[in-house]
Amino acid sequence: MTAIAAMPHRMRLGEYGGGVGTSTYQRLMILVVIFTAAVALIVLRLASFAMFEDQKSFRTVSASYVPERGDIVDRNGVPLARTIAAYAIWLKPDEIRGDKRQLAAALQAIFPDEPTGEFYAKLTGDKPTYLRRRALPREVSEVHALGEIGIEFPREPERLYPEYELAAHVLGFTDLGGVGRMGMERVLEHRLTDPTLRAEPVALSIDSRVQGALRNELSHAMASTHAIGASGVILDVNTGEIVALSSLPSFNPNKLDAAGMKNEANGVTQSVFELGSTFKPITVAAALDAGTVRDLSRRYDATAPLHIAGFKIHDDHPMGRWINVPEALVNSSNIVTARIADDLGRKRMETTLRSLGFDRRPEIELAEKGLPIWPSDWGRLTTMTIGYGHGIAVTPLHLASAYAALVNGGIFRKSTLLKIDPDKAPEGRRVFSAATSARMRQLLRMIVLDGTGRNADAEGYRIGGKTGSAEKPRAGGYAHNALISTFAAAFPMDNPRYVVVVSLDEPQGTAATSFQRTAGWVAAPVVKKLVPRIGPMLGVLPDTRRDVDVSELMPLLWRSGGGH
């Protein structure tokens, strides 16, 4: 009876428990259905994006990565300037809670280049200010660890130059507001900040590898000769593109301090000098074109100094005899070049120099361009001295562009720092005949083979060029102990591709240069070391089986030797 009576009670309990299980199961099933529906909706939505909004999505994502200021790259795409999100350290003095003297000392330990007093002055000021306009992540972490709520760490756009000083005078820099203040940063200001254009980097004509080699060789030469400055440029003779440009001493555009600001002047495009005997080939080319020199074997009197208008023109290494045109160039005779210039006359000399742009600032995008010193009183003596590079002052870039025209067939093209498509090279303008240019290639090669430029000869690269050493002007005359020593070269002379101009400012003679400070001893060797480094980078390989044919002219060299 008792067992029978208990059975209904247990059944009721079982019926109650079964009800709970059923309810839980139903809830789970509902959740599963909802979850499945949500997943299905997401999948369908993603599929919709993929099918119908792919291009729109791509554009949206791409646009989010457009820099505030466009990148600048070299001709091979190597980054030279780009904008990044950098750290700043911002101070709100009224929110500082700790001891301000202790905090100033702690900050000075993190930033030892700034005195404790300056930090304390900022901490006790009445206005928010930068503790540090730019800081490294490590420095930010250390300041953050100080635990002050009155110090914040905003991210701000910063212009970064990954190669530091490598191309400082080409790139220039931006100010704290992000505006270009020098170099191509200034030239390209609109292009780099245009929202429709800044996503695409601007490619310069510079090759970072060649730029590095040029800077390295200039730096070595400057140090070894104790020069106060050095500059160099490498120019494509067929397009006018500047493949490398360096001016020393330089500056770091990432952090332009007072010392760096003193070095902002661009020695290639701004500094104007009398470039001495490098002008002699230009004078001879003008005479060949004008017909005042028809026969290179014609001899000129170089037995004694030339006296004109109370002025004496002499040779540093007198030949003491009558010499022909190739001998005059190979041995760098001022006397004979002056006579050739005299025969050419002022009008034709002036026309040649103006056609090469020597009467105006160099043709280049940069704003930093020097104005040549043009003769104010041009008489017969001026024509003669200009013939050998005195009485007129131009920049090394002027000279490089002129030498390009001398060797490329006679076409002058303005120089550029922007990369040019191979099929869009500018036509330029003719300044020398093709025949004259061919003859100058021979003569320039002879100067390196057997003349004052022999220290520039690098086996297999067929270098041609001319030395030039000129005293720097001073009040009332010239400084006899201060030279600008320049070597202007081209290679390979059988098919010229590039011009190289190297200048050293006030080099000193050393044991390595036989205590000479003229261009043949200090500037020409730079080219000899440089060309084998950059030739392969530029597609010019050494070949001892090829050279410009000078066989018809070599017999005219009765004797060669020293010079300047």
Cα(169)–Cα(530) distance, integer angstroms: 20
**For residue 502, what are its two tokens?**
């190297």
Q: Does the structure show a pLDDT above 90 at 476?
A: no
CB 442 within 8 A of CB 275: no
Q: Express each pLDDT in 61-73 by its tens digit.
A: 344 568 889 999 9
Instruction: Look at the alpha carbons of 216, 219, 222, 226 in this order and tell me if their dihedral is positive or negative.
Output: negative
Specify the pLDDT at position 25. Answer: 63
Confidence at 38, pLDDT banded by 50, 70, 90? low
Cα(399)–Cα(403) distance, integer angstroms: 6
Q: What average pLDDT does this structure show over 180-184? A: 96
Taking the C-alpha atoms of 202, 208, 212 and 218 in order, what is their torsion angle to the nearest 10 degrees?
Answer: -50
Query: Where do the DSSP E strands lie in 112-152?
Result: 129-135, 151-152
Q: Express each pLDDT in 524-541 by its tens digit.
A: 999 999 999 999 999 999
Q: What average pLDDT does this structure show over 95-114? A: 94
Confidence at 15, pLDDT banded by 50, 70, 90? very low
Q: Does the structure show a pLDDT above 60 at 84?
A: yes
Specify the pLDDT at position 7. Answer: 43
Query: Where do the DSSP E strands lie in 434-497?
Result: 464-474, 477-491
Helices assigned H by DSSP within 125-265: 137-144, 168-171, 183-187, 189-193, 208-225, 258-261
Q: Does the structure show a pLDDT above 50 at 312?
A: yes
**For residue 135, what are its two tokens?**
């800081």
Specify the pLDDT at position 40. Answer: 66
Specify the pLDDT at position 29. Answer: 72
Confidence at 23, pLDDT banded by 50, 70, 90? low
Candidates 277, 333, 415, 503; catalytic one: 277
Specify the pLDDT at position 22. Answer: 60
* Active-site annotation holds for 277: yes
Specify the pLDDT at position 46. Answer: 58
Ordered DSSP codes for 488-513? EEEE-TTS--EEEEEEEES----GGG
Q: Express each pLDDT in 397-418 by its tens digit.
A: 999 999 999 999 999 999 999 9
Confidence at 21, pLDDT banded by 50, 70, 90? low
Q: What average pLDDT does this structure show over 173-186? A: 93
Q: Please name the amino acid found at residue 117.
A: G
Residues with Cβ within 8 Å of residue 132, at least 6 apart in sequence: 88, 89, 111, 139
CB 108 within 8 A of CB 115: yes
Instruction: Look at the alpha carbons of 315, 317, 320, 323 in this order and tell me if their dihedral is positive or negative.
Output: negative
Q: Which residue has the tokens 């070391």?
A: 529
